Structure 1
Amino acid sequence: MRFFFKTVKILILFLLLAFVGAGFYAGNTAYEMMLTAPWEKILGVTKQTTDLSRIHRREQKDGWQPVEIRSADGTKLRGTYIENSRSSDRTVILLHGLYQNRSMCIPYVDMYRDMGYNVLLIDQRGHGESGGSHTTWGLRETDDLDAWTEWLRGKDGGVKIGMHGISLGAAMALIYSGTERGKNISFYVADSAYGGMMELGKDKISAYTGDPRFLWGMDLVEPFFQSVLWLRSGKTLSDIDPLEAVRRMTAPVLFLHGGADTLIPPKTAEELLQASGSSKKELFIFDGAGHTMEMAVNGDAYRKAVRVFLESLSQNM
């Protein structure tokens, strides 16, 4: 009888170890999938990461300054610095969306220059002329933004820095807002940001696979995914989740979103607004605008929303 119970204990231990091993294997697979999955197909977006002809023309014609720096892990980061014609101690960093490059942000340059800002356009890692093969969804992008803000402060120790991100760029800015250094940023403008990362991933991948059982599998794997995430990056899911990050933010923030956005529904912006820990936070919804299309649909209203928001902060900047 004792032999029987001993055998049962060994069998249970073996099954438990097998379950944990399988769980960590699945968690590691999910981690790799987060980084390397064909997100352009899953999200239905177009890859436009390599064409920088518009940027290069402006650099050659208008004297825009190409910039190259290194992130903490040695990754090359490229950008373009546009100095205002008037002396200014204010600079805004513009962050593009997924599978885009810094050319995407050209339509926003004049808006900020007209308000007296210098402008820094950056290629996020894995995009444009920056190094890296893909986005890391915030695992390394916060280090990249540290490097860019340090570069700006190296030019002018008294510079006041704002961040304006679009889609993925907005999410990265919001993630940065929850870090200690991110609290030194003067303001954030988040255009078409996503919120809860796991919820977004589950929703989009489930729709892509067409198999509702995928959600059950994701729920089962999630604890192992979070463990692998911490073991491999030293970060938790809350560190790279915009909805969690904004709870820690203190800087003023303006959320902008298209009312007809089907990729990231406008209710996401409302959730981010409610979750934000900032004492100065506003939301503007653009009726009829799809994902990241607010400026194209109603540029005058877009520029006014940003200008009015920044003017309300001017006494503190």
Structure 2
Amino acid sequence: MNTILAGLTLAQSCHAMLRKLSVQILACVIVLTLGAFAIGALLTGPAPSAVGTLSADFPVEPIQIPVTTSGAIVHGWLSQGKPGYSAVLLVHSMRSNRLEMLSRARFLKSLGYTVFLIDLHAHGESTGDRITFGLLESESVAAAVAYLHQTFPHERVGAIGVSLGAAAIVLAKQELK
């Protein structure tokens, strides 16, 4: 009889330990999942920033382009170069804005190129609720390229991007042709 009771007590003890371990594992999974969602929300939240105005030595025209697919408004600066020198779209990295590309714009403009600096979707002064790691940002690039083709129909159009800007250019490659 003592052997049977000892066996039941051991089985109950093992069952209680397994139940406690299962609850602890489940709690860890829940905490890790919530942590992943919190990090995701931080990474994909919009990165608005005031861009301000530039000094008179680099004249730009403020441009706003509607993105028909997402409803966003892309904000940018256009600085016209010499006719026949092509136009270059400059696209910043993640959680940045068009000011990041200003030194490149100055250099290209000094060579005669027309330069167009934009704020990607949910960055800088452009509208948008979430950073999408290229999906909606590529629509910003496509809208900017379409604007350049419409405004300068006889000019070639190129694009230079950094990090997320480069990814957005690659993802918009169909629209760039």
TM-score scaled to structure 1, two decimals?
0.40
Q: Corresponding residue for 2:18?
A: none
Q: Corresponding residue for 2:12?
A: none
Q: Decide whether the 8 Å contact of 1:95 with 1:124 is kept in 2.
A: yes
Q: Given the superposition, is the C-alpha separation of residues 171 and 52 from structure 1 closer, same or farther in structure 2, using an over 3 Å criterion?
A: same
* Match status 1:87 vs 2:91: no
- 1:121 match: secondary structure: strand
Q: Corresponding residue for 2:175?
A: 181
Q: Given the superposition, is the C-alpha separation of residues 172 and 120 from structure 1 closer, same or farther in structure 2, using an over 3 Å criterion?
A: same
Number of matched pairs: 142
* Cα distance in structure 1, aligned partners of 2:127 and 2:47: 16
- 2:65 match: secondary structure: strand
* Match status 1:77 vs 2:74: yes
- Which of 168, 171, 176 aligns to 1:172? It is 168
* Cα distance in structure 2, aligned partners of 1:167 and 1:107: 16
Q: Decide whether the 8 Å contact of 1:91 with 1:117 is kept in 2.
A: yes
- 2:112 match: secondary structure: coil
- Residue-by-residue CA offset, 1:37-59 (whole Å, 9 max, x unaligned): 3229xxxxxx9741413xx133x
Residues 141-150 or 155-164, more deviating = 141-150
* Cα distance in structure 2, aligned partners of 1:174 and 1:143: 11
**Equivalent residues in 2 for 1:183-202 (5 A)?**
184=177
Q: Corresponding residue for 2:54?
A: 57
Q: Decide whether the 8 Å contact of 1:52 with 1:101 is kept in 2.
A: yes
Q: Given the superposition, is the C-alpha separation of residues 157 and 35 from structure 1 closer, same or farther in structure 2, using an over 3 Å criterion?
A: farther
Q: Given the superposition, is the C-alpha separation of residues 61 and 113 from structure 1 closer, same or farther in structure 2, using an over 3 Å criterion?
A: closer
Residue type of the alignment partner of 1:50: S
Q: Decide whether the 8 Å contact of 1:68 with 1:76 is kept in 2.
A: yes
RMSD: 2.9
* Cα distance in structure 2, aligned partners of 1:62 and 1:139: 31
Q: Corresponding residue for 1:136?
A: 132
Q: Based on CA coordinates, which of the two structures has the bigger radius of gyration?
A: 2
Q: Decide whether the 8 Å contact of 2:122 with 2:130 is kept in 1.
A: yes
TM superposition shift of 1:115? 2.7
- Residue-by-residue CA offset, 1:92-134 (whole Å, 9 max, x unaligned): 1111111111011111112212332100000001111100022
- Residue-by-residue CA offset, 1:242-276 (whole Å, 9 max, x unaligned): xxxxxxxxxxxxxxxxxxxxxxxxxxxxxxxxxxx
**Equivalent residues in 2 for 1:209-224 (5 A)?**
none
TM-score scaled to structure 2, two decimals?
0.69
Residue type of the alignment partner of 1:82: S
Q: Identity percentage over the alignment?
A: 25
- 2:76 match: secondary structure: strand
Q: Decide whether the 8 Å contact of 1:75 with 1:132 is kept in 2.
A: yes
Residue type of the alignment partner of 2:142: D
TM superposition shift of 1:33? 4.9
Q: Corresponding residue for 1:314?
A: none
Q: Corresponding residue for 2:41?
A: 37
* Cα distance in structure 1, aligned partners of 2:130 and 2:38: 10
* Cα distance in structure 2, aligned partners of 1:131 and 1:48: 10
Q: Given the superposition, is the C-alpha separation of residues 103 and 131 from structure 1 closer, same or farther in structure 2, using an over 3 Å criterion?
A: same
* Cα distance in structure 2, aligned partners of 1:71 and 1:35: 28
* Cα distance in structure 1, aligned partners of 2:171 and 2:74: 19
* Cα distance in structure 2, aligned partners of 1:157 and 1:67: 17
Q: Which has the higher contact order (CA 8 A, sep 6+)?
A: 2
**Could you say which structure has the higher helix fraction?**
1
Q: Corresponding residue for 2:7?
A: none
**Equivalent residues in 2 for 1:202-213 (5 A)?**
none
- Residue-by-residue CA offset, 1:185-228 (whole Å, 9 max, x unaligned): xxxxxxxxxxxxxxxxxxxxxxxxxxxxxxxxxxxxxxxxxxxx
- Which of 73, 84, 99 aligns to 1:103? It is 99
